[in-house]
Chains A and B, each alone.
Chain A
Amino acid sequence: MNTWLLIGLMSFVTFANRYVFFSKTITYHPGEKFKTFLSFSAQAILTALWVPIVFHWHDAGTISVTNTHYLISTLFVLVLSFFRVNMLLVVLMGLSLFFALKFWG
């Protein structure tokens, strides 16, 4: 397939996923229970995106970490964030620790 056509099609797919419930063609409105369900979407999705970068599943049924820098830095960032340290500061401190461990650890 022509590359531009493919890019166009992919753009349509990503846009359609984002636009679908902004459209007036669909008349469905989520009820209270479903809204409660949806209120967990950001938490669940962001977690599903980051956790597999640090942890991996093995066929034997065990879970391993990418390596120890990932684990230590992840725990560090978790603790800082839990106590609501400013987000930019958390990211910068987390990355500093991560690269310090990586290059000098």
Chain B
Amino acid sequence: MSKKQLFRQATLDILPLAVAVIPWGILSGAIGVGIGLTFWQAQGMSMFVFAGAAQLSAMTLMGAGAGWLAINGSVFAISSRHMLYSLDLRKDVYTLPVKWRVVLAFFLTDEMYAVTKAYHDKHKRFSPWYSLVAGSVFYLFWNVSTLVGIVMGEKIGHLENLGLDFAIVAVFIAITAANLRQLSMIAATITSGVAAIYFKEIMPDGYVIIASLLGMSAGYLVSRIFR
């Protein structure tokens, strides 16, 4: 595959995921100005923190007057799942020069990881360029939609009540449902899903990582039993 084809493929693959994140970017920008951040602070959140759920939760806490430790604790808990991605990609990324490792880490989101894995499964190899292009296209969508949210600001009202969160449901199902032919994947999915419903009520920051670890354990156990 030529570099041009690779770039086009990466862009096409990340596109549905990037489109689904637009409402969240808009929401993020609107909440930013809503809690009194300046234009650049609200945009800077998306430019530097670059983590949807973590940003939304942090801004909600900031708006409520929470302290810096609580805010960062929440950010850490919500984004800790990226450590698992980092660990999983380690074998492929480890040998690259430091500038590659830094850039790929910066762009490492749920969405970038998902397309990177799909590419890896299909072509049996890791391509730093593929991941970089997918990650930066996603970054662009996230930041432009944040900008739209900042500009529209208060006019948006209760975007979260419009049901736009269903876009993320559709995308994440589209990524995961094809795997539901394998018993171990089914076990991981059901365990993680049920655990997430339960733990969200009692641990609003930590439920994703806890439910995921339980789901991964279930998948692992089933794969060991039915080898």
Contact = CB atoms under 8 A, between A and B. Distances in A.
Interface stretch (B73-81, B136-144, B145-153): B73-81
B51 interface: yes
A95 B216 CA distance: 29
A48 to B, nearest CB: 4
A8 B41 CA distance: 10
Contacts of B104: 22
B114 interface: yes
Contacts of A99: 163
Q: How large is the interface on A (under 10, 10 to 19, 20 to 34, 35 or more residues)?
A: 35 or more
B88 A50 contact: no
B220 interface: yes
Contacts of B89: 21-22
A104 interface: no
Interface string A20-64: 111110000110010111111111111111111111110100010
Interface in A52-90: 52-57, 59, 63, 69-70, 73-74, 77-78, 80-82, 84, 87-88, 90
B6 interface: no
A50 B173 contact: yes
A10 B189 contact: no
Nearest to A70: B166
A90 B51 CA distance: 25
Interface string B47-63: 01111011100100010
Given A15-B105, A45-B208, A87-B174, A37 B169 contact: no
A47 B75 contact: no
